[in-house]
Structure 1
Amino acid sequence: MGASTTTNNPFKDQPHYLTKKFLPFALYCLLPLALLRLYFYPIPLSSPHYSLITTQNHQELEEESFYEINECDYTNGKWVRDKLGPLYNGTTCDTIKEGQNCISHGRPDMGYLYWRWRPKQCSLPRFDSTTFLRLIKNKHLAFVGDSMARNQLESLLCLLSSVSSPTLVYRDGDDNKFRRWHFASHNANISIYWSPFLVKGIEKSNTGFNHNKLYLDAVDNRWALDMNKIDMLVLSVGHWFLHPAVYYEGDLVLGCHYCPGLNHTEIGFYDVFRKALMTTLKAIIEKRKQIDVMVTSFSPSHFEGDWDKAGACPKNRPFKEGEKALEGMDKEMRKIEVEEVEVAKEKVTHSPNLRFEALDVTGLSLMRPDGHPGPYMYPFPFANGVPDRVQNDCVHWCLPGAIDTWNEIMLEVMKRWKAQLRRPTG
């Protein structure tokens, strides 16, 4: 019993034994299998994917990463502080209408420049001028509408000028109502067509009748005659429908809006606005087989007092989430536009090269009462004290400013369209 007994453990050196014996055996077995796999299924060095990599240049490969299908609801979000600020200023581009160049006109508060729209469901990238120019390469983009269309156009031109300087190649009409710019770097054209009703109209004047005349059954030929030369349309109207007007279909008077003294039936303007939009979208569908169309939704104004008082739109920061509801005329005008665009989309469901989209910016714009020129539509309006009367612009948008977000969202829609064309069918 005093003698010790040693028991040999057969598993004592098992890990070392397995490594030494079985690993080389496994490698010897896998090597022939790998050779057989290569023999029967060689790597397709001439496959489409490999050919794509070897033949496409770096820029085209880079494009692929941008074109993603993003179905995000950009209307649902809030304005958040942004330390980076705008991509341009009032001196980096010479296309800003004087009345919207708030910085050069001496607006003292700069806080309105440092906000970004943050959707709840996704991110909204900062505007990428290079990507936008790629998407309109060899194309003609036209903004058609009233002064809000021009406001958005001038924002876009300023954003793009950071990459490529456009050349003004055409100008006609008072107040720069018809213009075209050419981007030689991408052989792209961007135009503006003044057409405040989209349909045929005769505008009121100081020397003639004091109401507009709208012909709701015919589109405005000032832009429609060029439709076959346009690859992408951005339509933006609304505010001119609030003015006194008489409405026609052919020679038949349908009624009027605010026309005292005329023997016409008062019919308001909501149904007329819808009819004008229906006529416009129908004409596009009938005349074009390949075109992209965006309808920028109604842009709210923010008058809080008389237009000729200093505090007509005094806010200096956005409304907080839930602080301001979309209602009344703003809500109704936006509703009409979104509904009619959806009708148009249904009509072209089987026409992949004919696309419509509502650029729904009404809600996010409503939250920016601080974004208008106000009294700074004129240079240094309070340089000599506060005058008794000072005209305010609480309709249009300072540049740079909140309206730049419209073009950021437009770019995301264009990228989604591009991705959908690349997506395999069937």
Structure 2
Amino acid sequence: MGVTSPLKGQTHSRSFTTKFLPYVIYALFPIALFRFYFHPFPSPPTDQLPHSNRIVLTSSSSSSSFSIEEGTSNEVPCNYTNGRWVRDKMGPLYNGTTCGTIKDGQNCISHGRPDLGYLYWRWQPSQCELPRFDPKTFFNLLSNKHIAFVGDSMARNQLESLLCMLASVSNPNLVYANGEDNKFRRWHFDSHNVTVSVYWSPFLVRGVEKSKTGPDHNELHVDVIDERWGSDLDHLDMIVLSIGHWFLHPAVYYEGGSVLGCHYCPGLNLTEIGFYDVMRKAIKTTLKTIIGRKAGSGSGIDVFLTSFSPSHFEGEWDKAGACPKTEPDREGEKMVEGMDADMRSIAVEEIEAAKVNAKQFGGLRVETLDVTKLSLMRPDGHPGPYMYPFPFANGIQEHVQNDCVHWCLPGPIDTWNQIMLQVIKRWRR
């Protein structure tokens, strides 16, 4: 008899495995390829992050107005304000010769600016992607809507940027023009029944601008909006507000029919109160009036407030100050500080306060379009001496006036509308 070893028969088993296992693997490999080809592993959409992330906007005086927030308890910040300018071979959607709506002083290409490198940069946020502006997406989201840009010349600058990008796929028809320098205009895109308007209102509230024939200072009533645009509120679906630079000029302020004070008004025997609090009052009055009137009418509205856009004069603006740089600043090279930071903070804080008020009513959305830092980093994007056609055609002049406030079109200001489109897309979702 004998004892049966537990290892008996293992030699045969090993031989069988060694001999036939490779053939099994070879047979399964094409089957696996066939399965993967016709039934690949699902991947999340490219415009979404894992775990049902959604784009939301938050604001504070020390952080950006834009972030991506997780649908779960984890938060992944996506900050459009912080980032850097990177080279972009694609360039802009339009140029100075194909868009007929650019104000002459910002048409740097047609005025002979020789360095075109400023056109080939794009804004890369630190922790998210900013997609290229898609005019068709804008039209689809805003079809049958009326969008108004209200404010000073920066509002007009941003408006013309948007018009030029939209004109790359659809023709804008000018249907209304009025006022000196066509400060009140309206266009209509028949393809999607989209109306775009601009209203000149450098203070948003009622005001009288200084003139050669009148007082040498502005007059503002900080508790009453400018009805040149306010009277059309019932017909507007979206408003983009933009103010700032005009508050630096001498002015006398009124509230409740009485003099509140003044800014830089020697000889008028009035109390100097600066302009920060007045600008805050003007924004507060504007937002409160918009929300109140639209809520009272039962119709919604979307409101953007574009934050302060810094100038880049090297020297005094009225003493041949210029902006000669030809490339963006690097991340960390300049900080948002001083007046630029204070002006930005006022916009952000007042929008946050308005959000609380707007929550009481349906269909009212307000947001800061925070462009201060990304604009600060583009000293190369202004017309400079090319606010005039071919300023050096007759040689180098001793004094050439420069525009270091407004932006070349196309140019960095196109990015403002890129960000605005992303916010609109988030709202619609």
TM beyond 0.5:
yes
Q: 3-state DSSP class of the match of 2:380?
A: helix
The structure having more radius of gyration, on CA atoms, is 1
Q: Aligned partners of 1:347 and 1:189: how far apart in 2?
A: 28
Q: Aligned partners of 1:13 and 1:389: how far apart in 2?
A: 95
Cα distance, 1:326–1:8 mapped onto 2, change above 3 Å: closer
Q: Which amino acid aligns with 1:146?
A: D
- Tell me the percent identity: 69
Q: Which amino acid aligns with 2:95?
A: N
Q: 3-state DSSP class of the match of 1:408?
A: helix
Name 2:3's counterpart in structure 1.
none
Q: Aligned partners of 2:194 and 2:321: how far apart in 1?
A: 42
Q: Aligned partners of 2:355 and 2:317: how far apart in 1?
A: 39
1:188-337 paired onto structure 2 within 5 Å? 188-289=194-295, 290-307=300-317, 312-337=322-347
Q: Aligned partners of 1:364 and 1:74: how far apart in 2?
A: 9
TM-score (norm 1): 0.83
Name 1:340's counterpart in structure 2.
350
Q: Aligned partners of 2:237 and 2:85: how far apart in 1?
A: 32
Q: Which amino acid aligns with 2:334?
A: K
Shift of 1:351: 3.2
Shift of 1:235: 0.2
Q: Which of 139, 146, 169 is residue 140 of structure 1 equivalent to?
A: 146
Shift of 1:130: 0.3
Name 2:88's counterpart in structure 1.
82
Name 1:179's counterpart in structure 2.
185
Q: Aligned partners of 1:248 and 1:282: how far apart in 2?
A: 18
The alignment's C-alpha RMSD in Å is 2.5
Q: Aligned partners of 1:356 and 1:309: how far apart in 2?
A: 39
Shift of 1:307: 3.3
Q: Aligned partners of 1:177 and 1:69: how far apart in 2?
A: 38
- Find out whether 1:121 has 2:121 as its counterpart: no
Q: Which amino acid aligns with 2:150?
A: V
Name 1:371's counterpart in structure 2.
381
- Find out whether 1:166 has 2:172 as its counterpart: yes
Name 1:20's counterpart in structure 2.
none
What CA deviation, in whole Å up to 9, does each residue of 1:214-273 have, x standing for no partner?
001100000000001000000001111111100001320000001111121000000000
Q: Aligned partners of 1:250 and 1:346: how far apart in 2?
A: 25
Q: Does structure 2 retain, via aligned residues, the 8 Å contact 1:310–1:375?
A: no
Equivalent residue pairs, number: 371
Q: Does structure 2 retain, via aligned residues, the 8 Å contact 1:309–1:392?
A: no
Name 2:406's counterpart in structure 1.
396
Q: Aligned partners of 1:256 and 1:8: how far apart in 2?
A: 105
Shift of 1:205: 0.7
Q: Does structure 2 retain, via aligned residues, the 8 Å contact 1:78–1:118?
A: yes
- Find out whether 1:414 has 2:424 as its counterpart: yes
Q: Aligned partners of 1:206 and 1:390: how far apart in 2?
A: 24
Q: Aligned partners of 1:216 and 1:311: how far apart in 2?
A: 32
Q: Which amino acid aligns with 2:172?
A: P
What CA deviation, in whole Å up to 9, does each residue of 1:84-120 have, x standing for no partner?
1111100111000000000110111111111110001
TM-score (norm 2): 0.82
Deviates more, 1:408-417 or 1:382-391: 382-391
Runs of 4+ in 1 over 6 A off after TM superposition: 7-16
Q: Aligned partners of 1:309 and 1:402: how far apart in 2?
A: 26
Name 2:33's counterpart in structure 1.
none
Q: Aligned partners of 1:244 and 1:220: how far apart in 2?
A: 19
Unmatched runs of 5 consecutive residues or more in structure 2: 1-7, 21-44, 56-67, 69-77
Q: 3-state DSSP class of the match of 2:234?
A: helix
Q: Which amino acid aligns with 1:284?
A: I
1:353-372 paired onto structure 2 within 5 Å? 353-372=363-382
1:141-156 paired onto structure 2 within 5 Å? 141-156=147-162
1:102-121 paired onto structure 2 within 5 Å? 102-121=108-127
What CA deviation, in whole Å up to 9, does each residue of 1:151-210 have, x standing for no partner?
000000000011101100011101110000000000110000000000010111101111
